[in-house]
Structure 1
Amino acid sequence: METILVATDFSDRSDLAVARAALIAAKSRAQLHLIHVVDDDQKPRIVEGETAISKQILQEEIARLNQIDGLQCTCDVLLGDPFEGICGFADTINPRLLVIGAHRRRVLRDVFVGTTAQRTIRRARWPVLMVNAPPSQTYRNVLMATDLSENSRRAAAHLAKLNLAPPEDHTLLHIIDAPARRLIMSDVLAEDQMTRYLAELQIEAEQDLKDFAESLSFDDCNRVARQSSGATSAAVLQSAGDFDVDLIVVASQGRVGLSKTFLGSVAEEVLRRAARDVLAIPPDLPH
Protein backbone atom coordinates (compact mmCIF):
# COMPACT_ATOMS: atom_id res chain seq x y z
CA MET A 1 0.00 0.00 0.00
CA GLU A 2 1.31 3.43 -0.93
CA THR A 3 1.92 5.97 1.82
CA ILE A 4 1.00 9.63 2.14
CA LEU A 5 3.40 11.30 4.55
CA VAL A 6 2.31 14.33 6.60
CA ALA A 7 4.77 16.47 8.53
CA THR A 8 3.07 18.28 11.41
CA ASP A 9 4.25 20.82 13.97
CA PHE A 10 0.82 20.73 15.68
CA SER A 11 -0.03 24.23 14.45
CA ASP A 12 -3.32 25.25 12.85
CA ARG A 13 -1.50 25.23 9.51
CA SER A 14 -0.49 21.63 10.04
CA ASP A 15 -4.03 20.69 11.05
CA LEU A 16 -5.17 21.79 7.57
CA ALA A 17 -2.45 19.63 6.03
CA VAL A 18 -3.54 16.59 8.04
CA ALA A 19 -7.17 17.10 7.05
CA ARG A 20 -6.31 17.41 3.34
CA ALA A 21 -4.01 14.39 3.48
CA ALA A 22 -6.79 12.34 5.09
CA LEU A 23 -9.15 13.22 2.22
CA ILE A 24 -6.54 12.20 -0.36
CA ALA A 25 -5.66 8.98 1.48
CA ALA A 26 -9.30 7.96 1.79
CA LYS A 27 -9.87 8.58 -1.94
CA SER A 28 -6.74 6.72 -3.06
CA ARG A 29 -6.85 4.02 -0.36
CA ALA A 30 -3.33 4.94 0.71
CA GLN A 31 -1.87 4.63 4.19
CA LEU A 32 -1.49 7.91 6.08
CA HIS A 33 1.67 8.39 8.14
CA LEU A 34 2.12 11.39 10.44
CA ILE A 35 5.53 12.55 11.64
CA HIS A 36 6.65 15.23 14.06
CA VAL A 37 10.28 16.25 14.47
CA VAL A 38 11.54 17.29 17.90
CA ASP A 39 14.56 19.58 17.78
CA ASP A 40 17.29 17.65 19.62
CA ASP A 41 19.54 20.69 19.96
CA GLN A 42 18.15 21.32 23.44
CA LYS A 43 18.78 20.09 26.97
CA PRO A 44 18.06 16.35 27.27
CA ARG A 45 15.20 16.80 29.74
CA ILE A 46 13.48 19.23 27.35
CA VAL A 47 13.90 16.84 24.43
CA GLU A 48 12.55 13.99 26.54
CA GLY A 49 9.54 16.02 27.64
CA GLU A 50 8.70 17.25 24.13
CA THR A 51 9.08 13.74 22.73
CA ALA A 52 6.64 12.27 25.26
CA ILE A 53 4.06 15.00 24.66
CA SER A 54 4.44 14.71 20.87
CA LYS A 55 3.89 10.95 20.97
CA GLN A 56 0.73 11.43 23.00
CA ILE A 57 -0.65 14.06 20.61
CA LEU A 58 0.11 11.92 17.56
CA GLN A 59 -1.45 8.82 19.11
CA GLU A 60 -4.64 10.76 19.82
CA GLU A 61 -4.65 12.10 16.26
CA ILE A 62 -4.21 8.72 14.58
CA ALA A 63 -6.88 7.20 16.83
CA ARG A 64 -9.27 9.83 15.48
CA LEU A 65 -8.15 9.35 11.87
CA ASN A 66 -8.38 5.56 12.04
CA GLN A 67 -12.10 5.94 12.66
CA ILE A 68 -12.48 7.30 9.10
CA ASP A 69 -13.81 4.49 6.91
CA GLY A 70 -11.03 2.69 5.09
CA LEU A 71 -8.24 4.92 6.44
CA GLN A 72 -5.10 3.39 7.95
CA CYS A 73 -2.97 5.82 9.92
CA THR A 74 0.38 5.43 11.72
CA CYS A 75 2.89 7.88 13.20
CA ASP A 76 6.48 8.52 14.30
CA VAL A 77 8.27 11.11 16.41
CA LEU A 78 11.74 11.91 15.12
CA LEU A 79 14.69 13.71 16.70
CA GLY A 80 16.80 16.24 14.81
CA ASP A 81 16.53 19.26 12.57
CA PRO A 82 12.96 19.48 11.17
CA PHE A 83 14.12 19.78 7.56
CA GLU A 84 16.62 16.94 7.78
CA GLY A 85 14.20 14.79 9.75
CA ILE A 86 11.37 15.18 7.24
CA CYS A 87 13.54 14.61 4.19
CA GLY A 88 15.46 11.71 5.71
CA PHE A 89 12.29 9.89 6.69
CA ALA A 90 10.73 10.54 3.29
CA ASP A 91 13.82 9.13 1.60
CA THR A 92 13.40 5.99 3.68
CA ILE A 93 9.75 5.28 2.85
CA ASN A 94 9.50 6.96 -0.60
CA PRO A 95 5.95 8.31 -0.11
CA ARG A 96 3.35 8.74 -2.82
CA LEU A 97 3.00 12.31 -1.57
CA LEU A 98 4.49 14.52 1.16
CA VAL A 99 1.98 16.96 2.66
CA ILE A 100 3.02 20.02 4.66
CA GLY A 101 1.28 23.04 6.12
CA ALA A 102 1.60 26.53 4.70
CA HIS A 103 4.62 28.65 5.55
CA ARG A 104 4.21 31.53 7.95
CA ARG A 105 3.49 34.91 6.37
CA ARG A 106 4.47 38.18 8.02
CA VAL A 107 3.52 41.67 6.96
CA LEU A 108 6.98 43.21 7.16
CA ARG A 109 9.07 40.28 5.99
CA ASP A 110 8.49 37.28 3.79
CA VAL A 111 10.06 34.43 5.75
CA PHE A 112 9.33 31.70 3.23
CA VAL A 113 12.89 31.72 1.90
CA GLY A 114 15.00 29.54 4.16
CA THR A 115 12.08 27.95 6.04
CA THR A 116 11.57 24.23 6.46
CA ALA A 117 8.79 24.27 3.86
CA GLN A 118 10.85 25.98 1.19
CA ARG A 119 13.95 23.89 1.87
CA THR A 120 11.90 20.70 1.76
CA ILE A 121 10.34 21.57 -1.61
CA ARG A 122 13.75 22.44 -3.08
CA ARG A 123 15.27 19.20 -1.84
CA ALA A 124 12.31 16.91 -2.45
CA ARG A 125 12.56 13.78 -4.57
CA TRP A 126 8.80 13.26 -4.22
CA PRO A 127 5.72 15.43 -4.85
CA VAL A 128 5.19 17.97 -2.07
CA LEU A 129 1.74 19.39 -1.38
CA MET A 130 1.60 22.67 0.52
CA VAL A 131 -1.87 23.10 2.00
CA ASN A 132 -3.01 26.72 2.25
CA ALA A 133 -6.80 26.48 2.31
CA PRO A 134 -9.23 24.66 4.63
CA PRO A 135 -10.22 21.38 2.91
CA SER A 136 -13.91 20.56 2.67
CA GLN A 137 -13.92 18.05 -0.19
CA THR A 138 -11.62 16.40 -2.73
CA TYR A 139 -10.08 18.66 -5.37
CA ARG A 140 -12.58 19.79 -8.00
CA ASN A 141 -10.56 22.17 -10.16
CA VAL A 142 -6.83 21.64 -10.73
CA LEU A 143 -4.57 24.05 -12.64
CA MET A 144 -1.19 22.86 -13.88
CA ALA A 145 1.15 25.48 -15.26
CA THR A 146 3.55 24.17 -17.88
CA ASP A 147 6.34 25.50 -20.07
CA LEU A 148 5.99 22.44 -22.37
CA SER A 149 9.51 21.27 -21.49
CA GLU A 150 10.45 17.64 -20.92
CA ASN A 151 10.75 18.27 -17.17
CA SER A 152 7.24 19.69 -17.17
CA ARG A 153 6.01 16.74 -19.23
CA ARG A 154 7.32 14.25 -16.68
CA ALA A 155 5.73 16.23 -13.85
CA ALA A 156 2.38 16.31 -15.69
CA ALA A 157 2.54 12.57 -16.31
CA HIS A 158 3.07 12.00 -12.61
CA LEU A 159 0.19 14.33 -11.76
CA ALA A 160 -2.09 12.06 -13.79
CA LYS A 161 -0.87 9.05 -11.80
CA LEU A 162 -1.69 10.79 -8.51
CA ASN A 163 -5.35 10.88 -9.59
CA LEU A 164 -6.23 13.85 -7.41
CA ALA A 165 -9.11 14.79 -9.73
CA PRO A 166 -10.63 13.51 -13.01
CA PRO A 167 -8.91 14.64 -16.26
CA GLU A 168 -11.85 16.88 -17.16
CA ASP A 169 -11.28 18.81 -13.91
CA HIS A 170 -7.72 19.72 -14.93
CA THR A 171 -6.63 22.84 -16.78
CA LEU A 172 -3.23 22.97 -18.47
CA LEU A 173 -1.92 26.54 -18.49
CA HIS A 174 0.91 27.80 -20.67
CA ILE A 175 2.09 31.37 -20.13
CA ILE A 176 3.61 32.87 -23.27
CA ASP A 177 6.53 35.17 -22.56
CA ALA A 178 5.28 37.81 -25.02
CA PRO A 179 7.10 40.85 -23.53
CA ALA A 180 10.51 39.23 -23.97
CA ARG A 181 9.74 38.27 -27.53
CA ARG A 182 8.34 41.73 -28.23
CA LEU A 183 11.57 43.29 -26.96
CA ILE A 184 13.73 41.08 -29.16
CA MET A 185 11.63 41.62 -32.30
CA SER A 186 10.90 45.33 -31.80
CA ASP A 187 13.97 46.43 -33.76
CA VAL A 188 13.03 44.46 -36.87
CA LEU A 189 9.21 44.59 -36.96
CA ALA A 190 6.76 47.45 -37.45
CA GLU A 191 3.78 47.68 -35.08
CA ASP A 192 1.34 45.95 -37.44
CA GLN A 193 3.90 43.23 -38.11
CA MET A 194 4.38 42.84 -34.36
CA THR A 195 0.63 42.41 -33.91
CA ARG A 196 0.57 39.67 -36.53
CA TYR A 197 3.65 38.08 -35.01
CA LEU A 198 2.04 37.90 -31.56
CA ALA A 199 -1.18 36.49 -33.07
CA GLU A 200 0.84 33.80 -34.81
CA LEU A 201 2.70 33.18 -31.57
CA GLN A 202 -0.65 32.60 -29.85
CA ILE A 203 -1.79 30.11 -32.48
CA GLU A 204 1.52 28.26 -32.30
CA ALA A 205 1.39 28.11 -28.49
CA GLU A 206 -2.16 26.76 -28.53
CA GLN A 207 -1.16 24.01 -30.97
CA ASP A 208 1.92 23.14 -28.92
CA LEU A 209 -0.21 22.95 -25.78
CA LYS A 210 -2.72 20.70 -27.57
CA ASP A 211 0.09 18.37 -28.67
CA PHE A 212 1.50 18.42 -25.12
CA ALA A 213 -1.88 17.44 -23.63
CA GLU A 214 -2.49 14.66 -26.16
CA SER A 215 0.95 13.17 -25.52
CA LEU A 216 -0.06 12.80 -21.86
CA SER A 217 -3.55 11.39 -22.44
CA PHE A 218 -4.97 14.63 -21.05
CA ASP A 219 -7.39 14.91 -23.97
CA ASP A 220 -10.35 15.75 -21.72
CA CYS A 221 -8.65 18.57 -19.85
CA ASN A 222 -9.06 22.29 -20.49
CA ARG A 223 -6.17 24.04 -22.23
CA VAL A 224 -5.28 27.71 -21.89
CA ALA A 225 -2.38 29.60 -23.51
CA ARG A 226 -2.06 33.17 -22.25
CA GLN A 227 0.25 36.01 -23.17
CA SER A 228 1.54 37.69 -20.04
CA SER A 229 2.32 41.39 -19.74
CA GLY A 230 3.98 40.99 -16.36
CA ALA A 231 5.64 38.44 -14.11
CA THR A 232 4.82 34.87 -15.03
CA SER A 233 4.15 33.92 -11.42
CA ALA A 234 1.56 36.71 -11.22
CA ALA A 235 -0.05 35.41 -14.43
CA VAL A 236 -0.30 31.91 -12.95
CA LEU A 237 -1.88 33.23 -9.75
CA GLN A 238 -4.23 35.47 -11.73
CA SER A 239 -5.31 32.51 -13.84
CA ALA A 240 -5.89 30.45 -10.71
CA GLY A 241 -8.28 33.15 -9.51
CA ASP A 242 -9.97 33.50 -12.89
CA PHE A 243 -10.67 29.77 -13.06
CA ASP A 244 -11.44 29.45 -9.32
CA VAL A 245 -9.09 26.50 -8.88
CA ASP A 246 -8.46 24.83 -5.55
CA LEU A 247 -5.06 23.36 -6.49
CA ILE A 248 -2.14 24.84 -8.45
CA VAL A 249 0.45 22.39 -9.75
CA VAL A 250 4.00 23.35 -10.72
CA ALA A 251 7.12 21.42 -11.63
CA SER A 252 9.80 22.25 -9.08
CA GLN A 253 12.56 22.46 -11.70
CA GLY A 254 12.64 23.54 -15.32
CA ARG A 255 14.41 25.29 -18.13
CA VAL A 256 15.84 28.79 -17.87
CA GLY A 257 16.28 31.18 -20.79
CA LEU A 258 14.20 33.28 -23.18
CA SER A 259 11.07 31.24 -22.53
CA LYS A 260 11.52 30.90 -18.77
CA THR A 261 8.10 30.64 -17.17
CA PHE A 262 7.02 29.50 -13.73
CA LEU A 263 9.56 26.74 -13.24
CA GLY A 264 12.44 27.02 -10.80
CA SER A 265 12.54 30.43 -9.15
CA VAL A 266 9.09 31.38 -10.45
CA ALA A 267 7.64 28.21 -8.93
CA GLU A 268 8.94 29.44 -5.60
CA GLU A 269 7.16 32.75 -6.13
CA VAL A 270 3.89 30.89 -6.75
CA LEU A 271 4.47 28.89 -3.57
CA ARG A 272 5.28 32.06 -1.68
CA ARG A 273 2.19 34.02 -2.74
CA ALA A 274 -0.57 31.46 -3.33
CA ALA A 275 -3.60 31.42 -1.05
CA ARG A 276 -4.64 28.12 -2.66
CA ASP A 277 -3.01 24.71 -2.25
CA VAL A 278 0.14 24.21 -4.33
CA LEU A 279 1.60 20.89 -5.45
CA ALA A 280 5.27 20.91 -6.48
CA ILE A 281 6.37 17.87 -8.50
CA PRO A 282 10.06 17.20 -9.20
CA PRO A 283 10.70 15.96 -12.74
CA ASP A 284 12.96 13.09 -11.72
CA LEU A 285 11.00 10.91 -9.31
CA PRO A 286 12.43 7.73 -7.77
CA HIS A 287 10.98 4.51 -9.12
Structure 2
Amino acid sequence: MKTILVATDFSERSDRALRRATLLARQTGAALTLVHAVDDDQPARLVAAARDAAILQLRDQGATLRDVDGLACETRVTLGAPFEATLRTADEMRPDLLVIGPHRRQALWDVFVGTTAERIIRASRVPVLMVNAPPLVAYRHALFATDLSEGSRQALETLLGLGLIEAVRLSIYHAYHAPALRLAMGHTLGKEGREDYLKEAEKDAARRLADFLGGLDVGRASRVVRLETSTAAAEIVAAAKELAADLVVVSTSGRTGLAKAVLGSVAEEVLRTADRDILAVPPRGAE
Protein backbone atom coordinates (compact mmCIF):
# COMPACT_ATOMS: atom_id res chain seq x y z
CA MET A 1 0.00 0.00 0.00
CA LYS A 2 1.45 3.34 -1.10
CA THR A 3 -1.17 6.01 -0.41
CA ILE A 4 -3.86 6.55 2.22
CA LEU A 5 -6.43 9.33 1.90
CA VAL A 6 -8.01 10.52 5.15
CA ALA A 7 -11.22 12.55 5.10
CA THR A 8 -11.49 14.93 8.05
CA ASP A 9 -14.01 17.46 9.30
CA PHE A 10 -11.84 18.19 12.38
CA SER A 11 -14.29 16.38 14.65
CA GLU A 12 -13.49 13.73 17.24
CA ARG A 13 -14.78 11.15 14.79
CA SER A 14 -12.29 12.32 12.19
CA ASP A 15 -9.48 12.31 14.75
CA ARG A 16 -10.24 8.63 15.28
CA ALA A 17 -9.88 8.00 11.55
CA LEU A 18 -6.62 9.95 11.44
CA ARG A 19 -5.13 7.98 14.33
CA ARG A 20 -5.98 4.68 12.62
CA ALA A 21 -4.57 5.93 9.32
CA THR A 22 -1.38 6.91 11.14
CA LEU A 23 -1.02 3.40 12.55
CA LEU A 24 -1.57 1.91 9.09
CA ALA A 25 0.94 4.29 7.48
CA ARG A 26 3.59 3.26 10.00
CA GLN A 27 2.78 -0.38 9.39
CA THR A 28 2.81 -0.26 5.59
CA GLY A 29 5.06 2.70 4.80
CA ALA A 30 2.22 4.46 2.96
CA ALA A 31 2.08 8.23 2.50
CA LEU A 32 -0.88 10.14 3.91
CA THR A 33 -3.05 12.80 2.34
CA LEU A 34 -5.53 14.68 4.51
CA VAL A 35 -8.56 16.18 2.78
CA HIS A 36 -11.18 18.54 4.19
CA ALA A 37 -14.30 19.60 2.32
CA VAL A 38 -15.64 23.13 2.69
CA ASP A 39 -19.34 23.40 1.91
CA ASP A 40 -19.62 25.98 -0.86
CA ASP A 41 -23.40 26.29 -0.56
CA GLN A 42 -23.11 29.48 1.49
CA PRO A 43 -22.04 33.11 0.96
CA ALA A 44 -18.66 33.52 -0.75
CA ARG A 45 -17.10 35.34 2.23
CA LEU A 46 -17.99 32.46 4.55
CA VAL A 47 -16.62 29.93 2.08
CA ALA A 48 -13.36 31.85 1.85
CA ALA A 49 -13.07 32.15 5.64
CA ALA A 50 -13.77 28.45 6.16
CA ARG A 51 -11.29 27.51 3.45
CA ASP A 52 -8.52 29.67 4.93
CA ALA A 53 -9.12 28.27 8.42
CA ALA A 54 -9.10 24.71 7.10
CA ILE A 55 -5.84 25.29 5.23
CA LEU A 56 -4.15 26.45 8.43
CA GLN A 57 -5.53 23.60 10.54
CA LEU A 58 -4.57 20.97 7.98
CA ARG A 59 -1.13 22.53 7.65
CA ASP A 60 -0.59 22.09 11.40
CA GLN A 61 -1.80 18.49 11.34
CA GLY A 62 0.39 17.68 8.35
CA ALA A 63 3.45 19.22 10.00
CA THR A 64 2.89 17.14 13.13
CA LEU A 65 2.61 13.93 11.11
CA ARG A 66 5.80 14.74 9.21
CA ASP A 67 7.92 16.09 12.08
CA VAL A 68 6.70 13.98 15.00
CA ASP A 69 5.51 10.76 13.37
CA GLY A 70 8.01 10.80 10.52
CA LEU A 71 5.34 10.18 7.89
CA ALA A 72 5.04 11.60 4.40
CA CYS A 73 1.92 13.76 4.44
CA GLU A 74 0.15 16.16 2.11
CA THR A 75 -3.01 18.20 2.70
CA ARG A 76 -5.88 19.30 0.50
CA VAL A 77 -8.89 21.56 0.96
CA THR A 78 -11.67 21.11 -1.56
CA LEU A 79 -15.04 22.75 -2.10
CA GLY A 80 -18.39 20.95 -2.14
CA ALA A 81 -20.65 18.70 -0.11
CA PRO A 82 -18.54 16.40 2.08
CA PHE A 83 -19.36 13.12 0.33
CA GLU A 84 -19.09 14.61 -3.17
CA ALA A 85 -15.83 16.42 -2.48
CA THR A 86 -14.29 13.39 -0.78
CA LEU A 87 -15.23 11.09 -3.66
CA ARG A 88 -13.94 13.60 -6.19
CA THR A 89 -10.58 13.73 -4.41
CA ALA A 90 -10.46 9.93 -4.22
CA ASP A 91 -11.22 9.68 -7.94
CA GLU A 92 -8.42 12.15 -8.73
CA MET A 93 -5.84 10.53 -6.46
CA ARG A 94 -6.90 6.88 -6.63
CA PRO A 95 -5.39 6.08 -3.22
CA ASP A 96 -5.04 2.49 -2.10
CA LEU A 97 -7.31 3.23 0.85
CA LEU A 98 -9.77 5.92 1.93
CA VAL A 99 -10.20 6.26 5.71
CA ILE A 100 -13.25 7.93 7.26
CA GLY A 101 -14.72 8.27 10.73
CA PRO A 102 -17.89 6.53 11.91
CA HIS A 103 -21.19 7.69 10.51
CA ARG A 104 -23.22 10.31 12.35
CA ARG A 105 -26.94 9.87 12.18
CA GLN A 106 -29.01 12.86 11.08
CA ALA A 107 -32.58 11.80 11.76
CA LEU A 108 -34.92 11.49 8.77
CA TRP A 109 -32.31 12.59 6.22
CA ASP A 110 -30.45 9.32 6.68
CA VAL A 111 -33.58 7.23 6.30
CA PHE A 112 -34.01 8.39 2.72
CA VAL A 113 -30.48 9.27 1.60
CA GLY A 114 -28.01 7.60 3.99
CA THR A 115 -25.22 9.04 6.09
CA THR A 116 -22.21 10.73 4.53
CA ALA A 117 -20.15 7.64 5.37
CA GLU A 118 -22.65 5.29 3.72
CA ARG A 119 -22.91 7.45 0.63
CA ILE A 120 -19.13 7.52 0.30
CA ILE A 121 -18.86 3.75 0.72
CA ARG A 122 -21.72 3.10 -1.70
CA ALA A 123 -20.12 5.15 -4.48
CA SER A 124 -16.39 4.80 -3.85
CA ARG A 125 -14.18 3.10 -6.40
CA VAL A 126 -11.44 2.51 -3.82
CA PRO A 127 -11.60 0.53 -0.54
CA VAL A 128 -13.07 2.54 2.32
CA LEU A 129 -12.18 1.95 5.97
CA MET A 130 -14.77 3.25 8.44
CA VAL A 131 -13.13 3.57 11.85
CA ASN A 132 -15.63 2.86 14.62
CA ALA A 133 -13.44 1.70 17.50
CA PRO A 134 -10.72 3.69 19.30
CA PRO A 135 -7.48 2.96 17.38
CA LEU A 136 -5.24 1.99 20.29
CA VAL A 137 -3.19 -0.77 18.65
CA ALA A 138 -2.66 -2.34 15.24
CA TYR A 139 -5.35 -4.73 14.02
CA ARG A 140 -5.07 -8.24 15.45
CA HIS A 141 -7.91 -10.22 13.88
CA ALA A 142 -9.73 -9.55 10.61
CA LEU A 143 -12.99 -11.23 9.66
CA PHE A 144 -13.65 -11.44 5.93
CA ALA A 145 -17.34 -12.13 5.22
CA THR A 146 -18.08 -13.75 1.89
CA ASP A 147 -21.12 -14.85 -0.09
CA LEU A 148 -18.81 -16.78 -2.48
CA SER A 149 -19.58 -14.39 -5.34
CA GLU A 150 -17.04 -13.15 -7.89
CA GLY A 151 -17.26 -9.66 -6.41
CA SER A 152 -16.43 -11.10 -3.00
CA ARG A 153 -13.43 -12.96 -4.42
CA GLN A 154 -12.17 -9.74 -5.99
CA ALA A 155 -12.58 -8.02 -2.62
CA LEU A 156 -10.48 -10.72 -0.95
CA GLU A 157 -7.79 -10.37 -3.60
CA THR A 158 -7.75 -6.62 -2.99
CA LEU A 159 -7.54 -7.14 0.77
CA LEU A 160 -4.60 -9.51 0.41
CA GLY A 161 -2.82 -6.99 -1.81
CA LEU A 162 -3.20 -4.04 0.54
CA GLY A 163 -0.75 -5.34 3.14
CA LEU A 164 -3.13 -4.53 6.00
CA ILE A 165 -3.34 -8.06 7.36
CA GLU A 166 0.13 -9.49 6.85
CA ALA A 167 0.66 -9.75 10.61
CA VAL A 168 -3.03 -10.19 11.43
CA ARG A 169 -5.02 -13.31 12.13
CA LEU A 170 -7.53 -13.77 9.30
CA SER A 171 -10.86 -15.61 9.51
CA ILE A 172 -12.86 -16.19 6.34
CA TYR A 173 -16.53 -16.46 7.21
CA HIS A 174 -19.40 -17.86 5.17
CA ALA A 175 -22.98 -18.35 6.35
CA TYR A 176 -24.84 -21.16 4.61
CA HIS A 177 -28.55 -21.85 4.29
CA ALA A 178 -30.60 -24.94 5.09
CA PRO A 179 -33.66 -24.36 2.87
CA ALA A 180 -35.27 -27.76 3.55
CA LEU A 181 -35.79 -26.81 7.18
CA ARG A 182 -37.88 -23.83 6.12
CA LEU A 183 -40.09 -25.79 3.76
CA ALA A 184 -42.98 -28.04 4.59
CA MET A 185 -40.72 -31.10 4.39
CA GLY A 186 -38.72 -29.79 7.34
CA HIS A 187 -41.40 -31.07 9.70
CA THR A 188 -41.11 -34.60 8.31
CA LEU A 189 -37.35 -35.05 8.70
CA GLY A 190 -37.33 -36.01 12.36
CA LYS A 191 -34.48 -35.28 14.76
CA GLU A 192 -31.93 -37.62 13.16
CA GLY A 193 -32.94 -36.56 9.68
CA ARG A 194 -32.48 -32.91 10.58
CA GLU A 195 -29.05 -33.58 12.06
CA ASP A 196 -27.94 -35.54 9.00
CA TYR A 197 -29.26 -32.85 6.69
CA LEU A 198 -27.44 -30.09 8.59
CA LYS A 199 -24.18 -32.05 8.58
CA GLU A 200 -24.37 -32.46 4.82
CA ALA A 201 -25.26 -28.80 4.37
CA GLU A 202 -22.24 -27.79 6.45
CA LYS A 203 -19.93 -30.12 4.50
CA ASP A 204 -21.24 -28.72 1.23
CA ALA A 205 -20.68 -25.15 2.45
CA ALA A 206 -17.12 -26.02 3.48
CA ARG A 207 -16.47 -27.53 0.03
CA ARG A 208 -17.86 -24.46 -1.72
CA LEU A 209 -15.74 -22.18 0.46
CA ALA A 210 -12.65 -24.24 -0.38
CA ASP A 211 -13.47 -23.90 -4.10
CA PHE A 212 -13.95 -20.16 -3.62
CA LEU A 213 -10.49 -19.86 -2.07
CA GLY A 214 -8.81 -21.97 -4.73
CA GLY A 215 -5.67 -20.31 -6.07
CA LEU A 216 -5.61 -17.60 -3.40
CA ASP A 217 -2.76 -17.41 -0.89
CA VAL A 218 -4.64 -16.97 2.37
CA GLY A 219 -1.91 -18.50 4.51
CA ARG A 220 -3.20 -20.00 7.73
CA ALA A 221 -6.53 -18.21 7.59
CA SER A 222 -9.29 -19.89 9.58
CA ARG A 223 -12.30 -21.00 7.58
CA VAL A 224 -15.60 -20.52 9.38
CA VAL A 225 -18.87 -21.85 8.00
CA ARG A 226 -22.06 -21.45 10.00
CA LEU A 227 -25.75 -21.93 9.54
CA GLU A 228 -27.53 -18.65 8.92
CA THR A 229 -30.39 -18.42 11.39
CA SER A 230 -31.14 -14.70 11.26
CA THR A 231 -30.29 -11.87 8.86
CA ALA A 232 -26.97 -11.96 7.04
CA ALA A 233 -25.85 -8.68 8.62
CA ALA A 234 -26.75 -9.83 12.13
CA GLU A 235 -24.81 -13.06 11.55
CA ILE A 236 -21.72 -11.15 10.41
CA VAL A 237 -21.80 -8.78 13.39
CA ALA A 238 -22.37 -11.66 15.81
CA ALA A 239 -19.51 -13.68 14.31
CA ALA A 240 -17.16 -10.71 14.60
CA LYS A 241 -18.00 -10.32 18.27
CA GLU A 242 -17.75 -14.03 19.05
CA LEU A 243 -14.40 -14.37 17.26
CA ALA A 244 -13.10 -11.09 18.74
CA ALA A 245 -12.33 -9.66 15.30
CA ASP A 246 -11.43 -5.96 15.40
CA LEU A 247 -11.79 -5.50 11.63
CA VAL A 248 -14.70 -6.71 9.47
CA VAL A 249 -14.20 -6.79 5.70
CA VAL A 250 -17.12 -6.89 3.27
CA SER A 251 -17.48 -6.55 -0.47
CA THR A 252 -19.66 -3.80 -1.88
CA SER A 253 -20.80 -6.22 -4.59
CA GLY A 254 -22.55 -9.48 -3.81
CA ARG A 255 -24.97 -11.94 -5.31
CA THR A 256 -28.38 -10.78 -6.46
CA GLY A 257 -31.90 -11.95 -5.85
CA LEU A 258 -32.52 -14.53 -3.12
CA ALA A 259 -28.80 -15.36 -2.88
CA LYS A 260 -27.71 -11.77 -2.22
CA ALA A 261 -25.48 -11.59 0.85
CA VAL A 262 -22.82 -9.02 1.26
CA LEU A 263 -23.60 -5.41 0.20
CA GLY A 264 -26.61 -3.62 -0.68
CA SER A 265 -28.88 -3.60 2.28
CA VAL A 266 -26.78 -6.20 4.14
CA ALA A 267 -23.52 -4.28 4.20
CA GLU A 268 -25.34 -1.07 5.00
CA GLU A 269 -26.91 -2.80 8.01
CA VAL A 270 -23.47 -4.00 9.07
CA LEU A 271 -22.17 -0.44 8.75
CA ARG A 272 -24.99 0.88 10.91
CA THR A 273 -24.81 -1.74 13.65
CA ALA A 274 -21.19 -2.88 13.99
CA ASP A 275 -19.16 -1.51 16.87
CA ARG A 276 -15.82 -2.28 15.22
CA ASP A 277 -14.01 -1.09 12.14
CA ILE A 278 -15.44 -1.94 8.72
CA LEU A 279 -13.46 -2.18 5.51
CA ALA A 280 -15.74 -2.02 2.45
CA VAL A 281 -14.08 -3.14 -0.78
CA PRO A 282 -15.60 -2.41 -4.22
CA PRO A 283 -15.18 -4.82 -7.14
CA ARG A 284 -12.45 -4.10 -9.66
CA GLY A 285 -13.53 -1.59 -12.29
CA ALA A 286 -16.37 -0.28 -10.09
CA GLU A 287 -18.07 2.85 -11.37
Same fold? TM cut 0.5: yes
**Corresponding residue of 1:186:** 185
**Corresponding residue of 2:198:** 198
1:175 paired to 2:175:
yes
Counterpart of 2:59 in 1: which secondary structure?
helix
Task: Give the fraction of aligned pairs with identical amino acids, expressed as a percent.
Answer: 45
Instruction: State how far apart, in whole Å, the 1-side matches of 2:37 and 2:283 are.
Output: 27
Instruction: State how far apart, in whole Å, the 2-side matches of 1:45 and 1:74 are.
Output: 26
**Corresponding residue of 2:252:** 252
Q: Is contact 1:177–1:259 with CA below 8 Å preserved after alignment?
A: no
**Corresponding residue of 1:53:** 53
Counterpart of 2:195 in 1: which secondary structure?
helix
Q: Is contact 2:181–2:187 with CA below 8 Å preserved after alignment?
A: no
Instruction: State how far apart, in whole Å, the 1-side matches of 2:168 and 2:223 are.
Output: 10
Counterpart of 1:171 in 2: which secondary structure?
strand
Measured on the aligned residues, the alpha-carbon RMSD in Å equals 2.1
Structure 2 length normalisation: TM-score?
0.92
Deviates more, 1:225-234 or 1:181-190: 181-190
Give CA deviations for 1:109-152 in whole Å, capped at 9, x if unaligned.
Answer: 79475221111111011100000011112211000000111111
How far did 1:284 drift?
Answer: 1.8
Give CA deviations for 1:156-197 in whole Å, capped at 9, x if unaligned.
Answer: 01100011122761000001133x452247369523434322
**Corresponding residue of 2:81:** 81
Structure 1: stretches of 5+ with no match in the other structure: none
Equivalence map 1:193-232=2 (5 Å): 193-232=193-232
Give CA deviations for 1:258-282 in whole Å, capped at 9, x if unaligned.
Answer: 3332332101110111110000001
Structure 2: stretches of 5+ with no match in the other structure: none
**Corresponding residue of 1:124:** 124
How far did 1:31 drift?
Answer: 1.0
How far did 1:228 drift?
Answer: 1.8
Q: Is contact 2:251–2:281 with CA below 8 Å preserved after alignment?
A: yes
Q: Is contact 1:253–1:264 with CA below 8 Å preserved after alignment?
A: yes
Instruction: State how far apart, in whole Å, the 2-side matches of 1:256 and 1:83 are.
Output: 26
How far did 1:226 drift?
Answer: 0.6
1:242 paired to 2:236:
no
**Corresponding residue of 2:41:** 41
Instruction: State how far apart, in whole Å, the 2-side matches of 1:185 and 1:126 are.
Output: 45
Counterpart of 1:75 in 2: which secondary structure?
strand
**Corresponding residue of 1:114:** 114
Residue 171 to residue 124, structure 1, CA distance change in 2 (3 Å): same
Instruction: State how far apart, in whole Å, the 2-side matches of 1:227 and 1:284 are.
Output: 29
Q: What letter corresponds to residue 186 of structure 1 in structure 2?
A: M
| Matched pairs, number | 284
Q: Is contact 1:127–1:280 with CA below 8 Å preserved after alignment?
A: yes
Q: Is contact 1:126–1:285 with CA below 8 Å preserved after alignment?
A: no
Instruction: State how far apart, in whole Å, the 2-side matches of 1:251 and 1:118 are.
Output: 14
**Corresponding residue of 1:72:** 72
**Corresponding residue of 1:18:** 18
Counterpart of 1:258 in 2: which secondary structure?
helix
Q: Is contact 1:167–1:221 with CA below 8 Å preserved after alignment?
A: no
Runs of 4+ in 1 over 4 A off after TM superposition: none
Instruction: State how far apart, in whole Å, the 1-side matches of 2:25 and 2:99 are.
Output: 11
Deviates more, 1:151-160 or 1:215-224: 215-224
